[in-house]
Amino acid sequence: MNFPILSAIIFIPLIGALFILITRGNEKNVEKNSKYVAIFSSIFNFFLSLFLWYLFDASSSNFQFVEEKVWIDGFIKFKLGVDGISILFILLTAFIIPICIFSGINSIKFKIKEFFIAILVLETLMLGVFCSLDLVLFYLFFEGGLIPMFLIIGIWGGYKRVYSAFKFFLFTLLGSVLMLIAIISIYWITGTTDLVQLLDLNISKEYQYLLWLAFFSSFAVKMPMWPVHTWLPDAHVEAPTPGSVVLAAILLKMAGYGFIRFSLGLFPVASEYFTPLIFALSVIAIIYTSLVALMQEDIKKLIAYSSVAHMGFVTIGIFSITKQGLEGSIIQMISHGLISSALFLSVGVIYDRFNSRLISTYGGLVNTMPKYSFFLMIFTLAALGLPGTSGFVGEFLILVGVFQINFFVAATASLGVILSAAYMLWLYRRIIFGQITNSDIKSAKDLNKTETYIFVSLAFLILFFGFYPEPLINTVNVSINNLIENYQTDLDFYLTQTNN
């Protein structure tokens, strides 16, 4: 297998973006052609990543499809590879981007060509994050994503777009610069930035705490964890629908992926040491943001706060460092990627029709939009973790994992499940049922063809993984076992070191 399939997956969207950039001619044609190029390259990429999944050998814990080239002589390698954890995120990304492009065709009204370029470049960068096996390369892709996302929020966003775009950019950048210092320090401490080599090396204990904190500052902002989550509601509310979808479905997952891959993999001692901190912040996030979500009047803001709460589950799952907890948090991330994008798309559908995101303008939608109400019900129930949806599998596994470690944390987190049921169901009732107060709703059109297809595919996956999460678990199983095993041996190694 010499064909560089990972490079192909990463760079196909970029090539698509270049094609769109150089198309010239009259405006109608350019728009049409760039639409086709964007759809084609993203869907092709999705099939290519499915093919990658098919080729992937789930019984091996090694990195597969590894590509390695010298990039900066004797220093940084351009090294790509996937294991059971990252391949799921690649699939998620490749699945969500076509949906964003379809939704963009519906909802983006101007500069559509530039929009396609931005979103395809963003896809390249996000896929790069999940594929890269070199810290510097990872940082490059991780930070590079800021540019297209900044433009997406700022150009096509809502009323307060400039403020939100700046807040998003500066918050994330501030978090990440410390990670850059940590990466360079790792290079000088160990002599390499190659992840595979670093996983075998043991970084000495006195450095681990500071390095862990530096990585944490970046991932915590991106995740986002309480109290640095404030950029997220702003960014979500002001971003256009496809922007919110990418943000919720993929960009947030980069941080969770980073925690699993780097914080646990490279700094086991520090991870063990700081687990109480993570638990505390996550539990606060779950309870606090759920309560905040309860009081929101803006639908998008409500979903954004619920995202923060769901991400809180993910972090406690990761740092429980049990098999169930880690598997649960990965499934939770995938399912949250599907559910939150479905919810944001649902908001987008009614926003396109009635031009309002306020809950109070809606009511009685079930009378005129039955199809829409049906799908929204599936997504709402999935978001509150009803058994039979993918949301349940993730949350359940996480709680199982955390119960083994810390009863109190698990119990408090379970409270979050109840709260999420409260705000989601209340939201659903206020939008869908009740009296029609807004005269526009009386003449509302139900879902059109594209929207129906998008919703059917998302609902199918949510229900499918709810009833049958086997494919996901099979893929991550070996990698998770290997991760935990390494973690334990590293920890033992450090323990014996201190005892001697």
Partner 1 sequence: MQTVIYILPELFLSLALMSLLMLGVFIKKSFKLVNSLTIISLIFAIALIINQPNETIKVFNDSYIIDKFSIVMKVITLLFTIFILFISKDYLKNNNIDKIEYPIIILASVIGMILMISSYDLIIFYLGLELQSLCLYILASIKREDQKSTESGLKYFILSSLATGLLLYGCSLIYGFTGSTNFEVISKSLDSVNSGAIFGVVFVIVGLAFKVSAVPFHMWTPDVYEGSPTSVTAFFALVPKIAALSVFIRFMYVPFGNIILQWQTIIIFLSIASMLLGSVAAIGQNNIKRLMAYSSIGHMGYALAGLAAGTNSGVQSLIIYLIIYLVMNLGAFACILLLKRENNYYENINDLSGLSKNHPMIALCFLIIFFSLAGIPPLAGFFAKFYIFISVIEARMYTLAIIGLLATVISAFYYLKIIKIIYFDKPKKPFDTSYDWGLKIPLIISSILILTYFVYPSAILNVISFIEIH
Query: For residue 356, what are the contacts with CB-CB under 8 A and spacing of at least 6?
Result: 362
Q: What angle do CA 167, 121, 177 make, to 5 degrees?
A: 40
Q: By the 8 A CB rule, do 472 and 465 touch?
A: yes
Among residues 136 and 195, whose Cβ is nearest to partner 1?
A: 136
Among residues 140 and 277, whose Cβ is nearest to partner 1?
A: 140
Among residues 3 and 110, whose Cβ is nearest to partner 1?
A: 110
- Residue 32 CB, nearest approach to partner 1 (Å): 19
In our burial notation (b when 16+ CB lie closer than 10 A, e otherwise), range 380-405 reads bbbbbbeeebbbbbbbbbbbbbbbeb
Among residues 136 and 345, whose Cβ is nearest to partner 1?
A: 136
Among residues 85 and 117, whose Cβ is nearest to partner 1?
A: 117
Among residues 54 and 159, whose Cβ is nearest to partner 1?
A: 159
Give Cα separations from 136 to 79, 184, 192, 291 (angstroms): 10, 8, 10, 39
In our burial notation (b when 16+ CB lie closer than 10 A, e otherwise), range 204-239 reads eeebbeebbbbbbbbbbbbbbbbebbebbbbbbbbb
Residue 306 is classified by DSSP as H
- Residue 146 CB, nearest approach to partner 1 (Å): 6
Q: What is the dihedral of CA 18, 19, 20, 26, to 10 degrees?
A: 140
DSSP annotation string for 437-479: --HHHHT-----HHHHHHHHHHHHHHHHHHH--HHHHHHHHHH
Instruction: Look at residues 423, 430, 422 and name the one whose alpha carbon lies nearest to residue 358.
Output: 430
- Residue 157 CB, nearest approach to partner 1 (Å): 9
3 state DSSP class of 157 = coil
- Residue 273 class from Cβ within 10 Å (0-12 exposed, 13-18 middle, 19+ buried)? middle
Give the whole-angstrom CA distance, residue 264 versus residue 258: 9
Residue for token digits 């970029």?
14
Helical segments of 355-438, H only: 365-368, 370-383, 390-405, 407-432
- Residue 187 CB, nearest approach to partner 1 (Å): 7
Q: By the 8 A CB rule, do 416 and 309 touch?
A: yes
Token pair listed for 461? 């996956």
- Residue 132 CB, nearest approach to partner 1 (Å): 12
- Provide the β-strand partners of residue 64: 82
- Residue 64 CB, nearest approach to partner 1 (Å): 25
- Residue 241 CB, nearest approach to partner 1 (Å): 18
What does the binding site for partner 1 look like in residue numbers (CB under 8 A)?
Answer: 71-73, 75-76, 136, 139-141, 143-144, 146-147, 150-151, 154-155, 161-162, 165-166, 169-170, 173-174, 177-178, 180-181, 184-185, 187-188
Among residues 83 and 143, whose Cβ is nearest to partner 1?
A: 143
Among residues 139 and 259, whose Cβ is nearest to partner 1?
A: 139
- Residue 92 CB, nearest approach to partner 1 (Å): 23
Q: What angle do CA 376, 380, 381 make, to 5 degrees?
A: 120
- Residue 396 CB, nearest approach to partner 1 (Å): 39
- Residue 162 CB, nearest approach to partner 1 (Å): 6
Helical (H) or strand (E) element with 292: helix 268-294
- Residue 15 CB, nearest approach to partner 1 (Å): 14
Among residues 173 and 284, whose Cβ is nearest to partner 1?
A: 173
Among residues 187 and 426, whose Cβ is nearest to partner 1?
A: 187
Among residues 98 and 154, whose Cβ is nearest to partner 1?
A: 154
Token pair listed for 336? 């949250």
Give the whole-angstrom CA distance, residue 369 versus residue 445: 7
- Residue 423 CB, nearest approach to partner 1 (Å): 33
Among residues 18 and 201, whose Cβ is nearest to partner 1?
A: 18
Q: By the 8 A CB rule, do 447 and 229 touch?
A: no
Among residues 135 and 350, whose Cβ is nearest to partner 1?
A: 135
- Residue 230 CB, nearest approach to partner 1 (Å): 17
Token pair listed for 436? 């029609």
Single-letter code of the amino acid located at 3: F
